[in-house]
Structure 1
Amino acid sequence: MSATATPSALPARPPLYTQLDRSIIWFPLMLVLFEFSVYIGNDMIQPAMLTITQEYGADSAWVPTSMTLYLLGGAVLAWCVGPMSDRWGRRPVMLGGALLYALANFAILLAPTIEAFMAMRFVQGIALCFISAVGYVSIQEAFEEKTAIKVMALMANVAMVAPLLAPLLGAGILSHPLGSWQLIFVLIGAIALISLLGLTRAMPETAVRLEKADTLGQIGRSYLAVLRNRPFLLLALATPLSGLPLLTWIALSPLMLIRDMSLPTWAYGLAQVPVFAGLILGNITLARVTDRVVVGRTIQWAMPLMAVGAALLLACSLAGLGCPLQISLLLGGMAVICFAEGLTFAVLYRLSLMASDAPKGVVAAALSMGVAVLYALGIEGGKLTYVAFGLPGFAVFSALGLLAFAFCVKGVLREAIAARSLDKASAAPMH
């Protein structure tokens, strides 16, 4: 499962903790609070963007640019944030990222022009790469394998609350007589500061630091070693493929349900409940069974469920547009697929991170950048397919993506399970 170690590969450090208890629980709690603040930094401000452009006297075309720059900030600097944490340690880099994000939420209040406002949105978005390229790696290094997967699965449930609640919270603040878009940023900045204080107190140092800083050439060779690692490439491709139906659904469901099926807004909101409930139940199931099964087994369980969900989507595309049967099949298919995704994501991240012997900051950064690019391309492809072919196009697009996921992960997963089963057997006490 691993490639030849790069010149700057680090010796493996045993996990600091074998289980999640009171002595360490504040670390993942504060990390997920920071993650929550970063996610609502995107979703919570969207209802206010028209008001913001009006106050700056700018064209409404700037509205989607805010989200684009936020996501771009999270993608463009991951390549250096990961190696920085290998050199200086996860803890100082993570704390620096949390401080930068908190300050950026207050600094944006002073932006004199829409261009300055958008520049600060880019700076805020940089926090996304600290989560994926530093925070998640710290979880993997702090805990032994099964505990790390369990912690990641539980953290994902908290993070899922953000896209559900943040737009409603933002709209609620704006509708209050004393509310304003400035208050939204103050609230987000305050949450970020709380997480910063908590991480300062609770975050351990998990990295074995490099003795001297890598040159750009050495960092480049580390990335090249990662990209030449076939298991890593397959797992890094499988990770976004497993989640693509959900992200495409988030992007397209307003068009599907409100515009094309003529559902009222409240019905659109209710339709999200079974979809996200499936994802949350999948994460909870993963957390409950991880101690009892070989790592990777839940992905094998998930693949037949993905096939069932894809079949329901294909069936719904044949029903009458907007009829109760079609809506039930659509939501049922998405719920089953999301349940399967909940069984896979945390395990895929662990397997991807451990597929290479390169410094883990580099591996995590490569994974983060690859997933971001593939998500963007996939969502755009799903949008174009739906515009051209409607619901049948969405169903076929989702089914083909899940088929590609199974193709990518099948061989690598078999090897990973076999290796871990062998390790478990060799570690068993002799009688």
Structure 2
Amino acid sequence: MGTGGALRQPAAPPVPGRNGCPAPDGLPARRAIDYKRRTMAFAPRSRPVTTLLILLVAFGPASTDLYLPALPSIARAFGADSGAAQLTLSVFLLGFAVAMLAHGPLSDRFGRRPVLFGALTVYLAASAACALAPSMEALIAARFLQALGACAGAVIGRAIVRDVYQPHEAARIMSFLAMAMAVAPAIGPILGGWLTTTFGWQAAFAALLVFGSVAFAGVLFVLPETHLSPDPGAIHPVRILSNYRSLVADTRFRGYVLVVTGSYAGIFAYISGSSFALIDGLGLRPDQYGFCFSAAVLGYMSGSFGGGRATTRLGIDRTIALGNAFQLVGGLAGLGLALAGVFSIASVVAPAAVFFFGSGFALPNATAGAINPFPRMAGAASALMGFLQMAGAALLGAVVGQLQNGGPGMMMAAIAFGGLVAVLAHRLIVRKLASS
């Protein structure tokens, strides 16, 4: 509009973090330069950045699901039993759980890029150590270190989204990240099965080394620092412990976390035991196993889609109850078939798919129920919940590994147990508290 005579419409205020708008007043010169780099690099439609964020959050699923078909081959290569091979999964989950408590505060204190570089360096070294491991003990140790690095991708990737994008844009980006978390378990075992069948078990870890190298290059060349105001108190032990103490004291938080832990423990029981049941027990090739595992994962993807729609109609708690019912039915059906001596692809995959379908309803809603009441401690709530979820699943997975005898019975018992924990926690803690 011209400047003469007519009233000039007020200009829309610039949106920080968008399209190179000026840095806020008071920033030091170096920080102002970083701010400009950030707003230019993180344009809303920046495909390289969106792709990098997807890679970062996919580290966890890729690092477990890609090598699942290789577990029996690993056990045979080192002359170990299935329990020792499954420890490579449980130890990874334990390392992931421990790192969850550390990466968030560290990145708040020192910035996103330094912590990512350090974590990815550890991940690359550990992936190479996995591929070259001379013994089962060395592989287990390398898997623990690999988890410490992989966890940073999931934790810091989401933090970067919060740093950079406006709420409506963040929701769009988060949807891409959720898709990556769902798609990785579907395609990972298929790719891992082909790699194992064609090149041997080491190929899965070589692929993870390539995956990590691509992410490292992306952080180096694409990602500027997004956390411009580091918090010196973020890693203060008293502050961290105070937040965790407040969360543990909340009964509702404990109830929802038990739902999440039971659901994920059931999923992990299938993750840790299914390759031995289907490959060693039924004689499937690793590439064939990949397709069977993906069939169960499709149950979770379908449940997540249906659960999202159900939440708008039923609310969080009714949707959780519905998901828990599917989980318990799937677990008990699988256990009943195993006790009856029925052992086939369908008797293993179909009950697991039903459990996974229910988890798609229960897990996201229980996660939201645990975190939503604590907006000022959302990071701490997410970290503590993730730690307890992963630690519980790792413990149950280790038990399955030690007691599994090549059949599906112990695995199905663990899946049913996870479903039962979720049902009891929701009915006896969350629902009872809501009605009181």
Q: Same fold (TM over 0.5)?
A: yes
> Which is further off, 235-244 or 38-47?
38-47
What amino acid is the match of 1:293?
T
1:70 and 1:122 in contact (8 A); partners too:
yes
Shift of 1:335: 2.4
Aligned match of 1:190: 210
Aligned match of 2:10: none
Supply the distance in 1 between the matched residues of 2:75 and 2:101 (Cα, whole angstroms): 32
Secondary structure of 1:279's counterpart equals helix
Q: TM-score, normalised by structure 1?
A: 0.68
Supply the distance in 1 between the matched residues of 2:76 and 2:403 (Cα, whole angstroms): 34
Q: Choose the corresponding residue for 2:359, options 318, 341, 354.
A: 341
CA deviations over 1:230-282 (Å, ceiling 9, x no partner): 3333332221222333222233445666777x575587665434321111223
Shift of 1:125: 2.0
2:299 and 2:357 in contact (8 A); partners too:
yes
Supply the distance in 1 between the matched residues of 2:161 and 2:244 (Cα, whole angstroms): 22
Aligned match of 1:276: 297
Asked whether 1:160 is paired with 2:185, we answer yes
Asked whether 1:124 is paired with 2:146, we answer yes
Supply the distance in 1 between the matched residues of 2:290 and 2:211 (Cα, whole angstroms): 26
- Residues 373, 27 of structure 1: alpha-carbon distance in 2 compared, 3 angstrom cutoff: same
1:39 and 1:162 in contact (8 A); partners too:
no
What amino acid is the match of 1:189?
L
Secondary structure of 2:295's counterpart equals helix
What amino acid is the match of 2:216?
L
Aligned match of 2:319: 301
Shift of 1:214: 4.3
- Residues 108, 270 of structure 1: alpha-carbon distance in 2 compared, 3 angstrom cutoff: closer
Supply the distance in 1 between the matched residues of 2:73 and 2:278 (Cα, whole angstroms): 26
> Which is further off, 264-273 or 225-234?
264-273
Supply the distance in 2 between the matched residues of 1:100 and 1:73 (Cα, whole angstroms): 13
Q: Choose the corresponding residue for 1:221, options 237, 242, 245.
A: 242
Supply the distance in 2 between the matched residues of 1:114 and 1:375 (Cα, whole angstroms): 21
Supply the distance in 1 between the matched residues of 2:358 and 2:224 (Cα, whole angstroms): 31
Asked whether 1:170 is paired with 2:195, we answer yes
What amino acid is the match of 1:251?
S
Secondary structure of 1:355's counterpart equals coil
Aligned match of 1:245: 266
1:43 and 1:163 in contact (8 A); partners too:
yes
Shift of 1:373: 1.4
- Residues 77, 22 of structure 1: alpha-carbon distance in 2 compared, 3 angstrom cutoff: closer
What amino acid is the match of 2:109?
R
What amino acid is the match of 1:224?
R
Aligned match of 2:156: 134
CA deviations over 1:172-192 (Å, ceiling 9, x no partner): 4525xxxx83x6544322221
Supply the distance in 1 between the matched residues of 2:352 and 2:136 (Cα, whole angstroms): 38
Shift of 1:116: 6.2
1:28 and 1:139 in contact (8 A); partners too:
no
Could you tell me which runs of 5 or more consecutive residues in structure 2 were left unpaired when the two chains were aligned: 1-14, 19-41
Supply the distance in 1 between the matched residues of 2:140 and 2:270 (Cα, whole angstroms): 27
1:306 and 1:336 in contact (8 A); partners too:
no
Q: TM-score, normalised by structure 2?
A: 0.68
CA RMSD between the two structures:
4.7
Q: Choose the corresponding residue for 2:122, options 100, 118, 123.
A: 100
Aligned ranges 1:43-62 → 2 under 5 Å: 43-44=65-66, 60=80
Shift of 1:168: 0.9
Asked whether 1:230 is paired with 2:248, we answer no
Shift of 1:366: 1.7
Secondary structure of 1:205's counterpart equals coil
Aligned match of 1:424: none
Supply the distance in 2 between the matched residues of 1:314 and 1:380 (Cα, whole angstroms): 21
Supply the distance in 2 between the matched residues of 1:271 and 1:40 (Cα, whole angstroms): 17
What amino acid is the match of 2:389?
V
Supply the distance in 1 between the matched residues of 2:390 and 2:129 (Cα, whole angstroms): 27
Secondary structure of 2:105's counterpart equals helix
> Which is further off, 41-50 or 28-37?
41-50
Aligned match of 1:423: none
Shift of 1:372: 1.3
Supply the distance in 2 between the matched residues of 1:134 and 1:51 (Cα, whole angstroms): 34
Asked whether 1:310 is paired with 2:328, we answer yes
Supply the distance in 2 between the matched residues of 1:147 and 1:411 (Cα, whole angstroms): 35
Supply the distance in 1 between the matched residues of 2:394 and 2:275 (Cα, whole angstroms): 18
Instruction: Give the structure, 1 or 2, with the largest relative contact order (CA under 8 Å, sep 6 or more).
Output: 1
Asked whether 1:31 is paired with 2:48, we answer no
Q: Choose the corresponding residue for 1:402, options 406, 410, 422.
A: 422
- Residues 139, 370 of structure 1: alpha-carbon distance in 2 compared, 3 angstrom cutoff: farther
Secondary structure of 2:109's counterpart equals helix
* Identical residues among aligned pairs (%): 18
What amino acid is the match of 1:250?
I
- Residues 285, 412 of structure 1: alpha-carbon distance in 2 compared, 3 angstrom cutoff: farther
What amino acid is the match of 2:193?
L
1:306 and 1:402 in contact (8 A); partners too:
yes
1:99 and 1:193 in contact (8 A); partners too:
no
What amino acid is the match of 1:188?
L
CA deviations over 1:265-311 (Å, ceiling 9, x no partner): 58766543432111122334467x49x938x8366335325424533
Shift of 1:84: 0.9
